[in-house]
Amino acid sequence: MSTLGIAVIGTGKMGADHVRRIGRTVGGARVVAVADPDGDRVKAVAAGLDGASAHTDPAAAMAAPGVQAVLIASPGPAHEEAILHALRRELPVLCEKPLTPDPAGALRVMEAEQRLGRRLVQVGFMRRFDAEYERLKELLDAGGIGRPLFLHCRHRNASSPSFFTSDMLITDSVVHEVDAARWLLGQEITAVSVLSPTPSSAAPEGLRDPRLVLLETAGGAIVDVEIFVNCGFGYEVRCEAVGESGSAQIGEGQTMLVRSGGRGYGEIPQDFTVRFADAYDRQLRRWVAAAAQGRVAGPDAWDGYAAAAVSAAGLAAAHNGVRTPVELVERPALYR
């Protein structure tokens, strides 16, 4: 297979990480253009790449010679315009989550794809590529624990960045469980409730952290998510699926057990880049292989839309203190 030329839009933490990843671990692809409003930063990134051009305008990067696919890692509000531009050029897109900040933007992306008549947009819900999640999905699909009744999820970060808000616990963090639940169960979310304990004194003033988010699904399952972004002890993503004939847990494992100082312990990763490093690799490799054929190989724009709709309902539930139904448009034929 020939080498796929990629334009990377956004060269912040995630974008720079993807650039490194393409160079280091993904065969068959290379970055040929990078774009970022911060001209100095984008030049610095391009300087580290052999033959890549630097741009402040995403459209200019996509128009650079050799661009065959687009990876979008700019802030969420900038996604829609970049995606629509890529679709006009009929370029495959891997877009970091969220697809768009609200359901309306996601619907416009879906309309553009429907006009094209094919799906070109993949959303960066990388948990679908994690080995543990894959095993859980296989077990559920094989009926290994019967019809699922509950997903009990824990999502914890050692600490939150300074710009994090109470809403972002739902739209930026729980959104991963939203997608994982939809994918694992093969069901849409129908309602959201949010319970909040007295915030941890370790959380920044004003941040409602932690929270318990409760999702109900079309198939009558219940998903409870503890989101705690200042838990202090590390990054942890655990999930127990409970079915009619058994339960299955992931995220408990420790690859090395140390005994020392009166304790037997395993290290807890401090960051999602450690826990999900392989998933990011796998996501990128599979997308590169699919993009070279003009296809997507992962969550598509419908998945991005559904996640945005649940996030919106989650915010309403959190703000109003009541269980909030999730309303979805009818699923277009292209996404069935």
- What DSSP designation does 269 have? P
State the binding string over 146-165 for its own copies (x if CB under 8 A, else -). Answer: xx-xx-x-x---x-------
Please count the residues of this chain forming the interface with its own copies, following the rule CB under 8 A: 71
d(CA 67, CA 95): 16
- Contacting residue, 142, 163, 205, 260, with its own copies by CB under 8 A: 260
Q: Is 29 a residue that touches its own copies (CB under 8 A)?
A: yes
Which segment (71-79, 83-91, 132-140, 170-178) binds its own copies by CB under 8 A?
132-140
99, two tokens: 């697809």
Q: Is 216 a residue that touches its own copies (CB under 8 A)?
A: yes
Kind and range of the H or E run holding 44: helix 39-47
70, two tokens: 């687009």
State the binding string over 37-76 for its own copies (x if CB under 8 A, else -). Answer: ----------------------------------------
Q: Which is nearer to its own copies, 56 or 245 (CB)?
A: 245
Q: Is 236 a residue that touches its own copies (CB under 8 A)?
A: yes
Which segment (10-18, 242-250, 299-307, 310-318) binds its own copies by CB under 8 A?
242-250
Contact, 14 vs 97, CB < 8 A? no
Q: Is 257 a residue that touches its own copies (CB under 8 A)?
A: yes
Beta bridge partner(s), residue 94: 71, 122
Q: Is 148 helix (H, G, I), strand (E, B) or coil?
A: strand
Query: 3-class secondary structure for 74-99?
Result: CCHHHHHHHHHHHHHCCCCEEECCCC
Q: Is 261 a residue that touches its own copies (CB under 8 A)?
A: yes
Q: Is 131 a residue that touches its own copies (CB under 8 A)?
A: yes
Which segment (58-66, 110-118, 121-129, 237-245) binds its own copies by CB under 8 A?
237-245
d(CA 239, CA 15): 28
Report which of 164, 179, 165, 177 is spatially closest to residue 99, judged by C-alpha positions.
Answer: 179
Q: How many CA atoms lie within 13 A of 200 on its CB side?
A: 16
> Scanning residues 286 to 305, which ones bind its own copies (CB under 8 A)?
none
Smallest distance from the beta carbon of 17 to its own copies, in angstroms?
A: 17
